[in-house]
C-alpha cells in the first residue's frame, strides 16, 4: 500500500512551553444518539470506546473554539500573545475557505506582527503542525510558534448515518513551541498515501477522486474498514521509526499518544507495538473523534490530572484522511 518513510532526527532547540484547550458546553451522549439513529450505548462503547462528544452551537465555529483554547493557554501559563511570532492552525473545518482561522486568532488576541496560516493534514494535522513549528524555530527566524488543532466536525457530520455520526465531536487544543537552550523535539515522521484518499473524505468543488464518483453532499464519508486496516499497520511502523531515529527503545517510551479516532483501533495498535493500553493518552472517551484536536486534548487531559509529567518520553502520532500520517517524538517538559 504505502512505502515506508524514514523518520528524521531533530537537532533543534525547541520545546513546548505551554498548553491549553477548550470544548463546547453541549454534550452529545450515546443515549442521545440512540434517540436519533438505530444504535445504543453498549454498541457504541464496545466498538469505539466513546461515551460522549461536545457539539458546537449554531453560531460557534472553529475560530471561536481556537481562540478560547489559546486564551486558556495564556491564562494558565502567563504567556503574552504579543510575544508570539507565528500561528499555525491545523483544521479541516475552518469557518470559511478564507480568511484563515489563524488570522481570526491574530485579530482576537491582538498579536502585532506574526506569520499565520491554516494547514490541512486532517487527523495528522497537529503533529504536522508541531513539525513545522520546530522547523521554523530551527531556521532562527522565529522564537515562539503557536500550534492549534481545532475542529467543528459536527457541522459536516451526517446524523442519519449510524456508521459515522457516533464518532465525531468538536474541540480545540493549543501548545506554544518556543526556542530553548535544550531541544525537546527528538524525531519526526510523516507520509501521505493519496491512493487511499477515497476511504475518508468530505466533498467540495470536485465530484470525483482517483476516478471514483464522490457522494455525501459535503458531509463526512468514511470506509471505516479500509481506514482501520491502513492505520493499525502504518502507525506502529511509524512509532518504531521515530524511536529508531532517536536511538531509543520501546521500553523507554512513557506515553503513546495516537489520534483518538476509535479506542478499539488504538488497542490494536498497542497490541502490535507490544505496549500496554495503560501507556496511551487518549481523548475519545469524553470528546469523540475530534480529528486535529484529539492529540492536544489528550495531552491537556493528562497534564491536568497529573499523569503527564516533566521528563516523560512521549510519541505523538496522527493519521487520517489523505491518507496522511505524521508523528513526533519528544521529551515532555513544560517551561514557564
Residues catalogued as catalytic: 123, 259, 289
Phi, psi torsion values for 229, nearest 5 degrees = -60, -40
Residues 6+ positions from 128 with CB-CB distance below 8 Å? 90, 119, 121, 190, 318, 324, 326
Cα 218 from Cα 214, distance rounded (Å): 10
Distance separating the N- and C-terminal Cα atoms of the chain: 44
CA geometry: angle 289, 295, 297, nearest 5 deg: 80
Beta bridge partners of 22: 172
Tell me if residue 225 falls in helix, strand or coil: helix
Q: Are 106 and 114 in contact (CB under 8 A)?
A: yes
- Give the position of cell 511502523: 237
What kind and span of H or E run contains 33?
helix 30-34
Q: Dihedral through CA 82, CA 88, CA 94, CA 100, nearest 10?
A: 60
Cα 326 from Cα 239, distance rounded (Å): 10
Residues 6+ positions from 278 with CB-CB distance below 8 Å? none
Amino acid at each position: 500500500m504505502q512505502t515506508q518513510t524514514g523518520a528524521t532526527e531533530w537537532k533543534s532547540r525547541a520545546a513546548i512551553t505551554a498548553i491549553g484547550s477548550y470544548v463546547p458546553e453541549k454534550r452529545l451522549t450515546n443515549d442521545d444518539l440512540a434517540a436519533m439513529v438505530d444504535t445504543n450505548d453498549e454498541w457504541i462503547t464496545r466498538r469505539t470506546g466513546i461515551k460522549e462528544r461536545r457539539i458546537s452551537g449554531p453560531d460557534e465555529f472553529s475560530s471561536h473554539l481556537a481562540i478560547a483554547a489559546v486564551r486558556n493557554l495564556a491564562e494558565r501559563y502567563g504567556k503574552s500573545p504579543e510575544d508570539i511570532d507565528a500561528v499555525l492552525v491545523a483544521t479541516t473545518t475552518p469557518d470559511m475557505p478564507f480568511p484563515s482561522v489563524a488570522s481570526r486568532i491574530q485579530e482576537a488576541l491582538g498579536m502585532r506582527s506574526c506569520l499565520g496560516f491554516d494547514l490541512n493534514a486532517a487527523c495528522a494535522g497537529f503533529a504536522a503542525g508541531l513539525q513545522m513549528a520546530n522547523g521554523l524555530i530551527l531556521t532562527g527566524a522565529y522564537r515562539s510558534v503557536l500550534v492549534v488543532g481545532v475542529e467543528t466536525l459536527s457541522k459536516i457530520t451526517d446524523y442519519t448515518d449510524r456508521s459515522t455520526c457516533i464518532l465525531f465531536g468538536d474541540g480545540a487544543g493549543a501548545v506554544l513551541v518556543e526556542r530553548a537552550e535544550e531541544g525537546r523535539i527528538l524525531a519526526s515522521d510523516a507520509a501521505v498515501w493519496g491512493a487511499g484518499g477515497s476511504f475518508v473524505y468530505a466533498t467540495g468543488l470536485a465530484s470525483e477522486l482517483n476516478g471514483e464518483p464522490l457522494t455525501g453532499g459535503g458531509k463526512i464519508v468514511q470506509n471505516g474498514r479500509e481506514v482501520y486496516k491502513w492505520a493499525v499497520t502504518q502507525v506502529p511502523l511509524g512509532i518504531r521509526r521515530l524511536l529508531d531515529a532517536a536511538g531509543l527503545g520501546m521500553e523507554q517510551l512513557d506515553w503513546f499518544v495516537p489520534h483518538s479516532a476509535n479506542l478499539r483501533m488504538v488497542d490494536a495498535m498497542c497490541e502490535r507495538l507490544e505496549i500496554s493500553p495503560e501507556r496511551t493518552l487518549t481523548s475519545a472517551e469524553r470528546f469523540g473523534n475530534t480529528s486535529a484536536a484529539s492529540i492536544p486534548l489528550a495531552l491537556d487531559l493528562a497534564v491536568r490530572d497529573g499523569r503527564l509529567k516533566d521528563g516523560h518520553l512521549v510519541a505523538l502520532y496522527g493519521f487520517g484522511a489523505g491518507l496522511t500520517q505524521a508523528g513526533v517524538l519528544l521529551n515532555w517538559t513544560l517551561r514557564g
